[in-house]
């Protein structure tokens, strides 16, 4: 054991937890920590331009790499600015470790300058959080927090440390093991339940697998493919589950939900057995709960017992990680063929292709995504914001591997795109990362362009610029009688903004320019921004209107197809 300051203990602890990058922003009370940073050259600090960006970058870093992402903010506004990012990670179960400073212990609770009760504020959006009141507690706290963050169902944690605790010295006593009586994730899956699930699968005539984000986080893509192939079960994914199953596979039928594929929604709604793996039967995926596929039996595999039975009654609950449960399930199920069932879904897909892009002289956003898919041969990592462009990116790019699509699904955080993509590019420096941005969301966090330049990231930024908050405009058009309020936006010249940061930029105004621009961006070594002036009034189809059932999925109306 060695004597260290609290600040040294924090960095020593993070280093022992394998942390290599911190996305942060300095301020008064974390100065002792910043003063100590140069002593830990193994930890790279990336200076963001707003703490929300730090949290999203840590999130994008974690989603792209599967490792824990770390963000850091000062007390008060620094800490509260992290909140949106922490909540984004919370809703999507992403291991983000948020570190904040707070005012000195004697000032706590006295409404001192830049004081905020950040542990109180983040109780409901973290797996756990800590206010560390003594330097001796730091090693155990860092160890426990990191353990909670990335085990079981991953999720954000927050550690709040008063300034004088950073400064005080104590013995560094690193606990080798973590012992938390109240935290024992179950990984294995109950043998009896797995046998019962196998029996149900053997009996089913129209089984379907719905794969979610949990398959990606437990790294179980191969195990999922093995089960699907042995019992010939069609696979659809949730939006966050995109990439959990290769979309080119013959058993892949896209993803379901509000803007999922028509045939995926119909398959889920007509199955006699749903096997939910690492997903949470969310309303955006399942439509109106009470009218989802009456009579269906549900097998639910999830590492979080609280998700099972939360929204739907479950015939067979299996608490465990997909990585462990799926191979044992595969072992127990009989080889089977579901020819008729697959033909039925194929038939629906033929009649309602959903992903067909119509011929048009306009620059359709779907066409831009599809061209990007073709030009990158489906290999790029795609990070999106939230809204229409997000749905088109999910629909018209075809994903082959887990962690290839990174997007804020649960919280739906506009502004995630740029910082999320920066985090992903930091995690994967050699990968081709495209930030697909909405023109609205981009302006929420575009100050992070400075980080792209600082770190010289080869990030490709594509703005889907229709001059509208497109998804809101779509809802106003469809459900509010075309009463367009507060959705048209005067956009700045995004190319000039990129210029101002020293980033190359291309404006694309016609369909013919799309492919050449993408080629030019790919050939360019550094960061580049493309401002795609897409068709302004294109809508996302198919669609399950809010509050409707999956069986009520509607497709593009004829007049829109004629545009």
What is the phi/psi pair of residue 396, to 5°?
-100, 0
Report the residue number, 57 or 319, with the smaller CB distance to another protein: 319
Nearer to another protein (CB atom), residue 92 or residue 136: 136
| 417 close to 385: Cβ distance less than 8 angstroms | yes
Among 18, 113, 180, 500, binds another protein (CB under 8 A): 180
Residue 282 binds another protein (CB under 8 A): no
Is 92 an interacting residue with respect to another protein (CB under 8 A)? no
Of 133 and 248, CB closest to another protein: 133
The catalytically annotated residue of 4, 9, 51, 127 is 51
* Chosen residue from 92, 136, 247, 448 binding another protein by CB under 8 A: 136
DSSP structural state of residue 543: B
Among 199, 304, 346, 537, binds another protein (CB under 8 A): 304
Span near another protein by CB under 8 A; candidates 34-42, 135-143, 517-525, 546-554: 135-143
Binding range to another protein, per CB under 8 A, among 268-276, 299-307, 469-477, 519-527: 299-307
Of 52, 30, 36, nearest to 414 by C-alpha is 52
Asked if 179 is part of the footprint of another protein (rule: CB under 8 A), the reply reads yes
What H or E segment, with its residue span, contains residue 451?
A: helix 449-454
Q: Does 51 bind another protein (CB under 8 A)?
A: no
Give the three-class secondary structure for 274.
strand
* 430 CB-near residues (< 8 Å, 6+ apart): none
Would you call 395 a catalytic residue per the annotation? no
Using rule CB under 8 A, residue 119 touches another protein: yes
Name the nearest CA neighbour of 379 among 360, 397, 391, 366.
397
- Examine residue 5 and say whether the peptide bond preceding it is cis (omega within 30 degrees of 0): no
Q: Least distance in Å: CB of 152 to another protein?
A: 10
Rounded alpha-carbon distances, angstroms, from residue 376 to 254, 423, 510: 20, 20, 20
Handedness of CA 140, 145, 150, 151 (dihedral sign): positive
Rounded-to-10 torsion of CA 383, 387, 392, 397:
10
| One residue of 191, 306, 500, 561 binding another protein per CB under 8 A | 306
Distances (CA, A) of 541 to 337, 357, 478: 32, 11, 12
Q: Does residue 484 have an active-site annotation?
A: no
Number of residues engaging another protein in binding (CB under 8 A): 29
Residues 3, 18, 113, 173: which binds another protein (CB under 8 A)? Answer: 173
The interface region with another protein, picked from 89-97, 119-127, 451-459, 516-524 by CB under 8 A, is 119-127
- The radius of gyration of the chain from alpha carbons, rounded to an integer in Å, stands at 24
Q: Is the CB of 99 or the CB of 517 nearer to another protein?
A: 99
140 contributes a contact to another protein by CB under 8 A: yes
* Contact by Cβ (8 Å): 233, 207: yes
Q: Give yes or no: 471 in active site.
A: yes
524 binding another protein? (CB under 8 A): no
Q: Is 337 in the site for another protein (CB under 8 A)?
A: no
CB 84 within 8 A of CB 55: yes
Q: Is 462 helix (H, G, I), strand (E, B) or coil?
A: strand
Q: Note whether 108 binds another protein by CB under 8 A.
A: yes
* CB-CB neighbours of 193 under 10 Å: 18
CB of 129 to another protein, least distance (A): 9
Q: Single out the segment in contact with another protein by CB under 8 A; choices: 278-286, 303-311, 451-459, 472-480.
A: 303-311
Which listed residue (309, 353, 502, 516) binds another protein by CB under 8 A? 309
Under rule CB under 8 A, residue 133 binds another protein: yes
505 in Cβ contact with 437 (< 8 Å): no
Min CB(138)–another protein separation in Å = 9
Identified binder of another protein from the candidate list 3, 39, 77, 175, rule CB under 8 A: 175
Q: How far is the CB of 25 from another protein (least distance, A)?
A: 24
N-terminal to C-terminal alpha carbon distance within the chain: 72
Segment interacting with another protein, rule: CB under 8 A, options 42-50, 181-189, 272-280, 416-424: 181-189
Torsion of CA 348, 280, 247, 428, to 10 degrees: 160
Examine residue 131 and tell whether it contacts another protein (CB under 8 A): yes
Which are the contacts of 405, defined by CB distance < 8 A and separation ≥ 6? 242, 243, 381, 382, 384, 393, 394, 397, 399
Q: Which helix (H) or strand (E) holds 522?
A: helix 514-523
Nearest distance from residue 79's CB to another protein, in Å? 13
Site membership for another protein, residue 560 (CB under 8 A): no
- Judged by CB under 8 A, does residue 47 bind another protein? no
Question: Among all chains, which residue has been given the structure tokens 């707003």?
Answer: 50
The single residue of 17, 20, 114, 229 carrying the catalytic annotation is: 114
507's CB contacts (< 8 A; 6+ apart) are 494, 495, 530, 531, 533
Which stretch in 200-208, 308-316, 386-394, 540-548 sits in contact with another protein by CB under 8 A? 308-316
89 lies in the site for another protein, by CB under 8 A: no
Q: Are strands 297-302 and 316-319 parallel, antiparallel or unpaired?
A: parallel
Catalytic residue among 91, 136, 144, 163: 163
The three-state DSSP-derived secondary structure of 483-498 is CCCCCECCCCCHHHHH
Residue span binding another protein (CB under 8 A) among the ranges 125-133, 268-276, 445-453, 482-490: 125-133
Catalytic residue among 471, 491, 538, 543: 471
Nearest Cα residue to 233 out of 287, 195, 272: 272
Please give the Cα distance from 408 to 384 (Å, whole number): 8
- 147 vs 389, which CB is nearer to another protein? 147
Cβ proximity to another protein, 109 vs 492, nearer residue: 109
Give the integer Cα–Cα distance in Å for 98 and 158: 5
CA 340 to CA 559: how far, in whole Å? 35
| 1 noted as active-site residue | no
Catalytic, 144? Answer no
Determine which residue in the list 1, 124, 294, 377 makes contact with another protein, applying CB under 8 A. 124
Active site residues: 51, 113-114, 163, 471
Residues near another protein (CB under 8 A) are: 108-109, 117, 119-120, 123-124, 127-128, 131, 133-134, 136-137, 140, 148, 173, 175, 179-183, 304-306, 308-310
């Amino acid at each position: 054991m060695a004597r260290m300051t609290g600040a040294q203990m924090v960095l020593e602890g993070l280093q022992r937890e394998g942390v290599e990058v911190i996305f942060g922003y300095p301020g008064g009370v974390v100065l002792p920590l910043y003063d100590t940073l140069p002593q830990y050259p193994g930890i790279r600090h990336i200076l963001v331009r707003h703490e929300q960006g730090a949290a999203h970058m840590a999130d994008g870093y974690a989603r792209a790499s599967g490792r824990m992402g770390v963000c850091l903010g000062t007390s008060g506004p620094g800490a509260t600015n992290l909140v949106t990012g922490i909540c984004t990670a919370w809703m999507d179960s992403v291991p983000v470790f948020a570190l904040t400073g707070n005012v000195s212990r004697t000032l706590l609770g006295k409404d001192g300058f830049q004081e905020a009760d950040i542990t109180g504020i983040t109780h409901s959006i973290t797996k756990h959080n800590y206010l560390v009141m003594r330097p001796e507690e730091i090693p155990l706290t860092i160890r426990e927090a990191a353990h909670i963050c990335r085990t079981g169902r991953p999720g954000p944690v927050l550690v709040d440390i008063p300034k004088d605790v950073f400064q005080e010295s104590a013995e560094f006593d690193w606990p080798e093991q973590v012992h938390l009586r109240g935290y024992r994730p179950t990984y294995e899956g109950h043998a009896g339940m797995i046998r019962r699930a196998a029996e149900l699968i053997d009996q089913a005539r129209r089984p379907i697998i719905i794969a979610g984000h949990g398959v990606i986080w437990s790294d179980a893509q191969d195990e999922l493919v093995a089960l699907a192939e042995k019992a010939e079960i069609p696979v659809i994914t949730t939006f966050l589950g995109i990439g959990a199953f290769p979309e080119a596979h013959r058993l892949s039928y896209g993803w379901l939900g509000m803007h999922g594929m028509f045939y995926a929604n119909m398959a889920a709604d007509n199955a006699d057995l749903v096997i939910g793996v690492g997903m949470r039967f969310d309303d955006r995926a399942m439509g109106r709960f009470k009218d989802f596929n009456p009579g269906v039996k549900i097998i639910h595999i999830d590492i979080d017992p609280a998700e099972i039975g939360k929204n739907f009654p479950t015939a067979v609950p299996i608490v465990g990680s997909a990585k462990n449960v799926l191979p044992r399930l595969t072992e127990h199920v009989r080889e089977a063929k579901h020819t008729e069932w697959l033909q039925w879904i194929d038939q629906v897909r033929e009649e309602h292709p959903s992903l067909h892009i119509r011929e048009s002289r306009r620059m359709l956003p779907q066409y831009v995504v599809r061209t990007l898919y073709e030009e990158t041969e489906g290999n790029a990592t795609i990070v999106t914001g939230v809204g229409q462009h997000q749905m088109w990116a999910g629909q018209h790019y075809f994903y082959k591997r887990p962690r290839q699509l990174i997007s804020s699904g649960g919280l739906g955080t506009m502004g995630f795109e740029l910082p999320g993509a920066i985090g992903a590019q930091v995690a994967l420096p050699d990968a081709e990362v495209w930030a697909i941005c909405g023109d609205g969301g981009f302006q929420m966090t575009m100050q992070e362009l400075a980080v792209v330049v600082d770190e010289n990231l080869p990030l490709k930024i594509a703005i889907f610029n229709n001059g509208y908050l497109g998804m809101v405009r779509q809802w106003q058009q469809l459900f509010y009688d075309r009463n367009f309020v507060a959705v048209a936006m005067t956009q700045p010249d995004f190319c000039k903004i990129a210029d101002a940061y020293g980033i190359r930029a291309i404006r694309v105004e016609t369909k013919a320019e799309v492919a050449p621009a993408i080629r030019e961006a790919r050939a360019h070594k550094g960061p580049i921004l493309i401002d795609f002036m897409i068709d302004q009034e294109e809508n996302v189809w198919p669609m399950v209107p809010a509050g409707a059932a999956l069986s009520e999925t509607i497709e593009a109306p004829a007049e829109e197809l004629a545009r």
